[in-house]
Amino acid sequence: MIAFLTLCYIAILFILVKSKVIKLNLWWKLSPLAWILLLLVVLFIPMQWGAPAGAVNIYQGVVEIIPNVSGEVIEVSAKPLEKLKQGDVLFKVDPQPFQDQVDKLRASLKLAKVNLKRAKELYAKRLGPEVDVDRFTAEVDQLTAQLETAKFELDETVVRAPGDGFVTGLSLRPGQRVANLPLRSWVSFVNYDLNRLAMGINQNVARHVKIGQQAEVTFKILPGKVFTATVKNIIPITAQGQLSPTGDVPLAPSTQDVPLPFGVILELDQDAFVKAGLEALDISRLPGGARGTGAIYTESGRATHLIRKVMVRMQAWINYVNPY
C-alpha cells in the first residue's frame, strides 16, 4: 500500500512538473522520501494498533467416534461426506451377544422376584427368616441394575451421529471388530456445530482489541468478497504459555523465541454473506481449514481504518491470482 500511494504521489508530481505548476528542484526530487516517511508516521504505524490485521482460519471440530461396546460390525450405514442429522445411524455392532445377556438377566430377575415373594410370605407367617427377605431383595436390586446396564449396552450397538455433520475418511467395513478403547477411534465425524473463525493478532497490538469491535475478513476460497464480523472472544493464552504435565524440565524463555500471536474468535454477522453479494449462508457452510486475512477496527487510530479497509479489499481481489 505504501508503494501504491507513493506511485500515486509521483504521478501527481510528474503531472504538476509537466504542467509547470511547480519547478523541479532538489526539494521536489527528495519529496517522495518525505512522503514515504509521512505515510509511515501518520498512517501505517498507527494502523498497526488502530486496525490490526492477521491471518484467519476456520477450525472445525472433529468428533472421534468410539463405541461404548465391543463387537463385530455388521452394518455401516453412513457414507463419506454425506450430510447427517443428529441421531442418524453411523454403524451397527452385532447385537446378539448383548440381546442374550438381556434375556439371561430378565430370566434371573424373574426368578429372584418369585423367590422374594415366597420369602416375604414365609416371613409373614413366621415360617422363614427375615434374612431371606433381605437377601432376595438385594438380589432383585442387583439384577435390576445389571439388566439396565445390559439394555444400555444393547442400545449402544447402534452407533449414532452426535450432531449435525458428516463422516470423513470412512474406512470401517462390516466384519471388522471394534472395541470401546479410547486408544483408537473408528470414525471421524465432522460436527457443523463446532465451527470457530479465529484470527491471529500480534502481541504488541492485542491490548487494543476488545470484545464487540467490528472486523472484516476475506477468504481464499471466496476471492473478491469481504465479510463483516464481530469480535466474540479473545483467547488469553498461546502455545508458548501452555505448561503440560511431563517429566521433562520446561525450557526457560529466551530472547530468540518469536512471540506467538494471540487468537481472537470472530463471529460472522448474520447478513455478512448478503452484504458480500452471496446467497445467505452461515459459517458451517465454509469448510474447515478455509484461510484468509482479516482486520479488526479498534477505537484507536480511527483515521487509519479507511486505509485498512482498502487493503482488505485489495487482498480480496489478489486472492483471485495468489493461492498463498
Residues 225-246 have pLDDT tens digits of 899 999 999 998 988 888 888 8
pLDDT over 70 at 222, yes or no? yes
Give the C-alpha separation, 159 to 64, whole Å. Answer: 12
The predicted pLDDT at position 284 comes to 52
Please give the backbone phi and psi of residue 111, each rounded to the nearest 5 degrees, phi first.
-65, -40
- Average pLDDT in the chain: 86
Report pLDDT digits (tens) over 106-121: 999 999 888 888 888 8
Three-point CA angle 241, 55, 278, nearest 5°? 135
Sign of CA dihedral 77, 80, 85, 87: positive
CB 319 within 8 A of CB 292: yes
Report pLDDT digits (tens) over 239-282: 888 888 888 888 888 888 888 999 999 998 877 777 766 665 55
Helix (H, G, I), strand (E, B) or coil at 324: coil
Give the C-alpha separation, 314 to 2, whole Å. Answer: 13
CB 233 within 8 A of CB 72: no
How much is the average pLDDT of 198-210? Answer: 92
- pTM for the model stands at 0.74
Place of cell 476488545: 210
Q: Which residue has the higher pLDDT, 74 or 13?
A: 74
Report pLDDT digits (tens) over 43-101: 777 788 889 999 999 998 888 999 999 999 999 999 998 999 999 999 999 999 999 99
Report pLDDT digits (tens) over 141-199: 999 999 999 999 999 999 999 989 999 888 899 999 998 887 788 899 998 877 889 99
Q: Could you give all domains of the chain from N- to C-terminal order, each with its CATH number?
A: 1-49 (no CATH), 51-61+191-239+258-324 (2.40.30.170), 62-190 (2.40.50.100)
The predicted pLDDT at position 53 comes to 93
Cell of 28: 521536489
pLDDT over 70 at 283, yes or no? no
